[in-house]
Amino acid sequence: MVNFKRLSFKRILSEALNPTMQYSVATSFRDGKGTAFLNLLGLDQQDKSTLVRSFGGRVNPKTNNVFYMTSVNNPGPFAAYFKTAYDYLAKTGRYILPNYDIIKAEIEQTKLDQVTPDERKVSSTKYEDLLEHIIRTLGSPETQDLINKIAQLGIDPNITDKRFGHIISPRNVLRAYSGKPDASYVATRAQWRKFNRLINPTAVKLVLMAPMSGGYNQQKATDALGISRQDASASAHMAHKFDVEAREDTQGFMATAYFDISDTFVIPGEPDRWEDEAGLVDNLRGILNSFAQAQVGSNTLDADKAAELGVQSDETKNKVVFARLFNHIQAKKSLTPAEIQALIGMDPANDKSIVEMLTLYFNRVSFEREHDTAKKNLQTAVAVAGILAIEKVAPLYLASILRRHEEVKKLDRAEVITVFKDILKVHDIISRKTDLGETVITETELHSPDDLLGLFGLSMNDLTDSNPTDTQNDIAEINNTIQTIQENFIKALK
């Protein structure tokens, strides 16, 4: 087992004996104009003052580090200007300096971070083209394979352990595939730099929607991963994972340039931190890098490993899908009390219950404003099929729907894309635990606690961890939901 603390100590000791000038390159875009920032770290106060006084540097008042800035569209003159500051630092003999040509190349590559309006438009068109193609060819083996890739964003589609890969949103997976069908591992230019990789000049730019974080919360990441930031920094993979988990609540989304690993190259003379360090990172195919495979094994997990990582049984998957969507329906008061009452007696472990609730939801909520009954029913059937395919539930019902899938030709492009976007909304509800913890069962007439427990087709005794393949997080979720319902019922009786 790797001793992260020992590695960190050795690194600090080495840098103290052989001080290295470290640097980072960041970009900022506003009103179509981009600015690149070169931040210099590890310099003593005397050299900071000299760079500011004689070589055009500036000081960041928050970090006390020296930085330079230039336009991303014309970095050439700046690179030549910075060379004079670089030569000064080299003459002092006080630092081990990074290769100037690498710094120059990285500054010049900052223009790749910019996403122009035309690029956004082309990306959006390709994205919608792919959405339409998936819906119209839902029953084909190729499309089923693509849906499998979308659904399987971890080692296994049902593994909930956060240490094993960060989940990319299905929308961004689709955007990546629409721009590069053979995409595998994607990251921004700045993220690839942490793995000692730069971007090829002929790279395909993938425009994804990246969250604009409200801040950086180390404790949040530590709680999620069970590792400190210092320990995580021993591996580029874990450091990246830590940064993703440390994001505070998203303040919005911004079109951001991403690049596939096939469009990157290792910086000459630097180790490939992608291959040389064990760990997992954001990926599309849900596979492990070679070192992590050696630690954990292949994607085909045996029963013991599946139990350890929390793989759900099919029955548990059904219950979770049912519980999460039902919670959302109740919290948003999406259906009438009579319709809710019809759902209460259903067995959530049963495939038919899943299909009936999805059908009711899509028909009454997603496509409520469609006045053409035949078209509404067709949209509903296609949406139900999409959820069954992505969530991997009710396979026989899915096959039955797909036998009539030729009727989708009756929907135009705009209608097909709308259907797919509604599929993704429901997938968000199911996968992200939307609205969990909110008050549930507010209008339904109930007569006994047994009616409440019957909602899930089980009793409280069924929620123990006697089944080693059940996902503990999901069991706790169902448990909490039932307890909330039961408490509300008791309050109502009083």
- Residues above pLDDT 70, as percent of the chain: 70
Provide the β-strand partners of residue 23.
40
Query: 176 and 143, same structural domain?
Result: yes
Both 329 and 386 in one domain: the answer is yes
pTM equals 0.71
Q: How confident is the model at residue 449 (pLDDT cuts 50, 70, 90)?
A: very low
In tens, the pLDDT along 160-179 reads 344 444 456 778 888 988 99
Has residue 307 been placed in a domain?
no
Q: What per-residue confidence (pLDDT) applies to 258?
A: 92
Domain final residue, candidates 275, 299, 323: 299
* Listed range (266-280, 385-399, 430-444) with the worst mean pLDDT: 430-444
Domain that holds residue 409: 314-493
Residues 393 and 411 in one domain: yes
Least confident of 97-106, 159-168, 316-325, 352-361: 159-168
* pLDDT tens-digit series, residues 59-111: 988 889 999 998 888 887 887 789 999 999 999 988 999 999 999 999 989 98
Q: Band of the pLDDT at 249, cuts 50, 70, 90? A: low
Instruction: Name beta bridge partners: 68.
Output: 38
* Residue 403 included in any domain: yes
Note whether residue 438 is domain-resident. Answer: yes
In the numeric block, which tokens belong to residue 174?
């689709």
Domain presence at residue 49: yes
Q: Would you say residue 77 lies in a domain?
A: yes
Confidence of residue 276 (pLDDT cuts 50, 70, 90): low
DSSP state, residue 162? T
Q: Measuring CA to CA, how many Å separate 252 from each of 20, 33, 122, 212, 475?
A: 37, 20, 22, 5, 31
CA–CA distance, 279 with 47 (Å, rounded to integer): 38
Residues 391 and 459 in one domain: yes
DSSP 152: -
In a shared domain, residues 132 and 151? yes
350/366 same-domain check = yes
- Residues 106 and 129 grouped into a single domain: no
Return the higher-pLDDT residue of 241 and 357. Answer: 357
Quick: pLDDT tens for 201-216.
Answer: 899 999 998 877 667 8
State residue 127's pLDDT score. Answer: 94
Let me know if residue 402 belongs to a domain: yes
15: in domain: no
> Is 3 part of a structural domain of the chain?
no
Beta bridge partners of 264: 199
Q: Are 21 and 98 in contact (CB under 8 A)?
A: yes
Identify the domain boundary among 41, 76, 111: 111
pLDDT at 169: 74
- Exposure on the CB side of residue 454, measured as CA atoms within 13 A: 12
Is 155 in the same domain as 84? no
Same domain? For 265 and 397 the reply is no
Residue tagged 């089944």 (tokens): 467
Asked which of 111, 128, 145 is the last residue of a domain, the reply is 111
Residue 424 or residue 479, greater confidence: 424
> How many independent structural domains does the chain possess?
3
Decide if 239 contacts 277 (C-beta within 8 A): no
Q: Do 371 and 335 share a structural domain? A: yes
Identify whether residues 277 and 333 lie together within a single domain. no
Do 93 and 124 sit in the same domain of this protein?
Answer: no
